[in-house]
Structure 1
């Protein structure tokens, strides 16, 4: 490991030293209990929703699981869902306009990582842009294939964003006001309350509203976002309840920043001109907008002590609009910038579905057994309106330092308005079954199986050609599953092993696949073997997880080496890695947390068309996949009113192309905070991010270097009654 992440090594070393000194740390029982209640990112005994449908805890699940609950989200000052997941083990996420839901995890990226909202997938990575964190109760991550739970995709892992819902237990009003660098602001309110004053209320409501805005750290790049979530919980009978959940999200971004051009001559490492660090070469009236509406109707029925069911009826409606000039290149002496790739597009997407789940606890062969079974139905409709101009000739060439950004309307060929080109309809019918069998008091067997019937219909409204017919359809029927064993070495420590499989749609997404990508393509396949352990140590002051895995993805499309005009399903990628996460209360007031992931991801068989000839990329690493990602946090409670802390994040270098000839350098980010509690209800937090003002690329694609935020400061006031 390089010296740039020395702080992470030191933190792990501090944890190990404290462990070695166990005999000298004699803490009162009451103090230990209080420490254990403090927010922590390693949660082993909370029920999770993402790793299983059986209501198991992380400790009981034979898979690597990371959880950020509401306490962690607030403790770390996460502003949006991207901030939340970047604190999870092995995740590297960014959100440039073209890849709004980009995630790299376990050697895989984009649609190979499933992102869910309350267990519901959009099957399209552009639908997973960051959302203000205020409305979410928790975010959960499960590593490796999880198609058997959520349908096609998820060869690398699944991320589940879970919205706050009305609760019977907590009657509260909470709010936040935040202001920081570049006029970054937040005004948020949350209310959870019973709708009657009687001793036994039957109706409960929750409302969460968040409005954020910023002038942006890049020139002319302004953003405004509103997120609203409302839910109504009604106890219809002592055993039957209904939850109505509504959400609305709106993002507006002026002059979206697409990246910075790299300097010539181009070597093996991407470099930008730091004197032009904040230049934005998009046109003045460029735009990104998104409007999202969610509706869920959830019925919960407790049949008896051992049997329950849940039915979720849902509707999703989204419209995403893009109007940008997206690609920029320097001339030979880096004095001028040529601008390419005009892009005007709208995505209209609707998803309607119903999910039914049945839970039953029973005896099987005299052994305790838990069952979950059910079915999924969904209809995913997306209409694409592209109007783009991609050519080898630039739209214009401007002075790199002093320029008029111009107007999108001046770009010939794309100023004629939106054009409806294709409509995709993907119907999913699925049945699933999951079981946990307690073979002994210490050994449990978990199995899961899912059958999907995927039917895609595509209507073409554009020019009719042999490769773009008026209408085409395809059907796939994958079967995927998982089998795992969990063995409790002690009540506080276990080991597990699992094998799981995945099915991955051609082109990564059926919601946008073209005729050539889907008509003759089978689903790609993936399989994983994982072993790991989850344990507490030092009488509960510490907890840790460790996992090692191998994932093989096969049969994805590559250039036919015998005919460069064709593609064949012969691609293969292997990822091998380890993940470690831990927390330790070094003293009752000093808490250390850290996670570290290493992955060796490479193509075993991959050919691409380069200048009209086939070129093998065997042995190369996929683009934007760092081989190391690490996070660390250290917090200290000076007294009940004051708390301070620091954090560090290390991301290794990534390749910007499949040839692995160009890479973005590794980086380390540091942060710090101080919190003062005015009273039991209100706290003021001052925070600095990117303490050293590191210049770094959150993502690299082609010859564009997508910068992360510079050093920023903020102050937030949180109150709760």
Structure 2
């Protein structure tokens, strides 16, 4: 039985909003045309620029419009040109450009590790909006992405709770004031077929409309997996004069995965260095008709008013709506003799989430006496609702031959019936006030500060049987205040030093939008995060080189720890720390040669933490590599032919909190070649994981979620 999505009233409201936007666009198109010159965009290859992007303002690092060079923090901006040079297929491949970040896209637990902390302590934002749910960060094709920005370490003072390890912001393309048309056709291994198009047009005096559309269809390197995905981004930018502009943006994402891959079981004995049988590398033990489906819609209304050169306001109204369905057998283990695989973990699940909010931002550029002093301030209000519908019969489904088997249809399993039964409703209301300032204490010394106060109200409604540990209703409120204090000293015009102290707050066991009664009945606080960081950023070699270095120490307290005496209940006694160093280097020795790389080292460990009544003090959190190294080289053999090489090494990771099982370090290499046929056509070829390295993108106590083997693709880019 294939899942079907149906429009509910609030989804109809979204569709109406999109229709109104389309009507406004058509009205502008019907207006008397004005002849304008067309700005021609060609398929010219992105310039291989090895220098780090230190001077582009980052909205993720500061609302003051500061560049990474001006910000007292480790900031990474991966712009559109870099995305294309690296050949990043989706948002997860873009993340490889951020020092120290690792990620995986397992269907039920999208994982990111940053500065020693996992997804629950890393904010993943969408155009500066936090949906407070890690699964929302499913990989999206890079075609609709304008850039990705990241700030390392605590940053709750910018975007709210949930950012101890850092914040990552995915920014979608919007309409711009020029005309162009572009497209891409791509074919690859595993029956990959992809088509993309982008159009930006003037539709009236002061109005520009843009559409970016991508559709991808293909199989997988794992048996039986089929995936279809569509992304659409539409926007209309209107300039009404006198400093007033408005952008209406709609985004749609649809992903359908048949028989999704959940992992590969380890060989016994399970302990020490983990192993899999290479004969099962491409096997899929899921149900024959397993499903992962998601449909996501965004609607944003962005109004801006530039009062004068010193003062401006922006209002962003946003609506997010997501529906995700799962129908799978998700857990597999070898029997003791490694002759058969036991399959379990039956889950029929639906996640239904809606987020509605409005944010008002202001920026004032002024002076305190003789010194420049810039201010950013604002208020953010949102309502985040999610209902989950889990159905998980406790049963071992079947034991199969690991090499020759046929799996059953999902609804032929015992005790499994079609239909979704709600578990609980989570509603999170957040009201936040923030202020940020940069003041020049001296001509070469700037003080950068920020403060944010939130009032968070969490309401849980039980949709099932009422018990002592699952009451009919329960409410909890939180009032975190977080901030940053930093200094930036411009030692020379091209070199600065900085120091900062920052705080953060995040939920003690995951995110509030999915928090259970056990998470909140006995826990009335958020965790607290503290970071001290020092670093330097600068240019050298007569502008042919750029580099950044950062050293930090982070502590997170009040982590939820399972109560050994009360099942399903947690209490706040845990503490985790991370200290590390990040180094990034960019070189442009000649116009033809570009070199960029980064290396990170982090020592992450539990200071206080218990599991099953056993102390885990001194242990490393799971899926947290101590070292991550990236290196990229680009060389233009001729003005029309460029070659690209990328290498990535990830250190070993532990699969359990007790650190008794680990996956070893691994290295893989990607190759790319681009031929500029003429001004409008370019041909690109990529080989990923050239050496066909077998590696795990994520590990658990039972299985390894393997990374893709060697794959290849070729793409034709067009400007028309």
Give TM-score scaled by structure 2 length: 0.92
Q: In the TM superposition, what is the alpha-carbon distance from 1:332 to its structure 2 partner?
A: 2.0
Gaps of 5+ in 1: 1-33
Mapped partners of 2:175, 2:46: distance in 1: 26
SS at match of 2:509: helix
SS at match of 1:111: helix
Mapped partners of 2:61, 2:209: distance in 1: 28
2:510 is equivalent to residue 508 of structure 1: yes
Q: 2:191 aligns with which of 164, 183, 199?
A: 183
Q: 1:261 aligns with which of 254, 257, 265?
A: 265
Instruction: State the match for 1:463 in structure 2.
Output: 465
Gaps of 5+ in 2: 1-43
Q: 2:520 aligns with which of 500, 518, 521?
A: 518
Contact 1:179/1:185, CA 8 A, preserved across alignment: yes
Instruction: State the match for 1:22 in structure 2.
Output: none
SS at match of 1:511: helix
Mapped partners of 1:406, 1:423: distance in 2: 32
Q: In the TM superposition, what is the alpha-carbon distance from 1:80 to its structure 2 partner?
A: 0.6
Contact 1:41/1:67, CA 8 A, preserved across alignment: no
Contact 1:650/1:666, CA 8 A, preserved across alignment: yes
Please give the residue correspondences for 1:635-650 in structure 2 after superposition, counting only pairs within 5 Å: 635-650=634-649
Mapped partners of 2:249, 2:288: distance in 1: 38
Contact 2:46/2:85, CA 8 A, preserved across alignment: no
Instruction: State the match for 1:669 in structure 2.
Output: 668
Q: 1:486 aligns with which of 478, 485, 488?
A: 488
SS at match of 1:229: strand
SS at match of 2:242: coil
Q: In the TM superposition, what is the alpha-carbon distance from 1:193 to its structure 2 partner?
A: 1.3
2:573 is equivalent to residue 573 of structure 1: no
Instruction: State the match for 2:17 in structure 1.
Output: none
Deviations 1:576-614 (A, max 9, x none): 0000111111332111110111100000000011xxxx1
Instruction: State the match for 2:150 in structure 1.
Output: 141
Deviations 1:204-244 (A, max 9, x none): 00100001122000000111100000000011223101100
SS at match of 2:449: strand
Mapped partners of 2:386, 2:179: distance in 1: 40
Deviations 1:368-425 (A, max 9, x none): 010000000000000111111235xx21111111111111112222324210111111
Give TM-score scaled by structure 1 length: 0.92
Q: 1:534 aligns with which of 528, 533, 537?
A: 537
Instruction: State the match for 2:387 in structure 1.
Output: 383
Structure 1's 519 and 183: CA in aligned 2 closer, same or farther, altered over 3 A?
same
Aligned length: 676
Contact 2:508/2:572, CA 8 A, preserved across alignment: no
Instruction: State the match for 1:707 in structure 2.
Output: 706
Q: 1:54 aligns with which of 48, 64, 77?
A: 64
Instruction: State the match for 2:656 in structure 1.
Output: 657
Q: In the TM superposition, what is the alpha-carbon distance from 1:682 to its structure 2 partner?
A: 1.7
Q: In the TM superposition, what is the alpha-carbon distance from 1:36 to its structure 2 partner?
A: 12
Q: 2:122 aligns with which of 96, 113, 124?
A: 113
Q: In the TM superposition, what is the alpha-carbon distance from 1:518 to its structure 2 partner?
A: 1.0
Mapped partners of 1:390, 1:131: distance in 2: 33
Mapped partners of 2:421, 2:506: distance in 1: 30
Mapped partners of 2:566, 2:192: distance in 1: 53
Please give the residue correspondences for 1:307-322 in structure 2 after superposition, counting only pairs within 5 Å: 307-322=311-326
SS at match of 1:289: strand
Deviates more, 1:277-286 or 1:559-568: 559-568
Structure 1's 82 and 565: CA in aligned 2 closer, same or farther, altered over 3 A?
closer
Mapped partners of 1:190, 1:35: distance in 2: 17
Instruction: State the match for 2:3 in structure 1.
Output: none
Mapped partners of 2:564, 2:173: distance in 1: 51
Mapped partners of 1:235, 1:588: distance in 2: 38
Please give the residue correspondences for 1:410-449 in structure 2 after superposition, counting only pairs within 5 Å: 410-449=412-451
Instruction: State the match for 1:80 in structure 2.
Output: 90
Structural RMSD (CA): 1.5
Structure 1's 560 and 464: CA in aligned 2 closer, same or farther, altered over 3 A?
closer
Q: In the TM superposition, what is the alpha-carbon distance from 1:562 to its structure 2 partner?
A: 8.2
2:425 is equivalent to residue 401 of structure 1: no
Please give the residue correspondences for 1:255-404 in structure 2 after superposition, counting only pairs within 5 Å: 255-391=259-395, 394-404=396-406
Q: In the TM superposition, what is the alpha-carbon distance from 1:335 to its structure 2 partner?
A: 1.7
Contact 1:154/1:504, CA 8 A, preserved across alignment: yes
Q: In the TM superposition, what is the alpha-carbon distance from 1:538 to its structure 2 partner?
A: 1.0
Mapped partners of 2:66, 2:466: distance in 1: 52
SS at match of 2:683: strand
Contact 2:606/2:618, CA 8 A, preserved across alignment: yes
Mapped partners of 1:40, 1:145: distance in 2: 28
2:235 is equivalent to residue 227 of structure 1: no
Mapped partners of 1:421, 1:160: distance in 2: 31
Mapped partners of 1:695, 1:518: distance in 2: 41
Instruction: State the match for 1:556 in structure 2.
Output: 559
Instruction: State the match for 1:597 in structure 2.
Output: 600
2:175 is equivalent to residue 166 of structure 1: yes
Contact 2:50/2:588, CA 8 A, preserved across alignment: no
Mapped partners of 2:282, 2:589: distance in 1: 41
Contact 1:35/1:585, CA 8 A, preserved across alignment: no
Contact 2:522/2:570, CA 8 A, preserved across alignment: no
2:240 is equivalent to residue 236 of structure 1: yes
Deviates more, 1:557-566 or 1:335-344: 557-566
Contact 2:486/2:499, CA 8 A, preserved across alignment: yes
Mapped partners of 2:343, 2:116: distance in 1: 32
Q: In the TM superposition, what is the alpha-carbon distance from 1:276 to its structure 2 partner?
A: 2.1
Deviates more, 1:88-97 or 1:382-391: 382-391
Mapped partners of 1:40, 1:153: distance in 2: 33
SS at match of 1:692: coil
Contact 2:630/2:646, CA 8 A, preserved across alignment: yes
Structure 1's 427 and 566: CA in aligned 2 closer, same or farther, altered over 3 A?
closer
Mapped partners of 1:568, 1:243: distance in 2: 46
SS at match of 2:190: helix
Q: In the TM superposition, what is the alpha-carbon distance from 1:366 to its structure 2 partner?
A: 2.6
Mapped partners of 1:412, 1:219: distance in 2: 25
Deviations 1:8-38 (A, max 9, x none): xxxxxxxxxxxxxxxxxxxxxxxxxx99964
Q: In the TM superposition, what is the alpha-carbon distance from 1:519 to its structure 2 partner?
A: 2.4
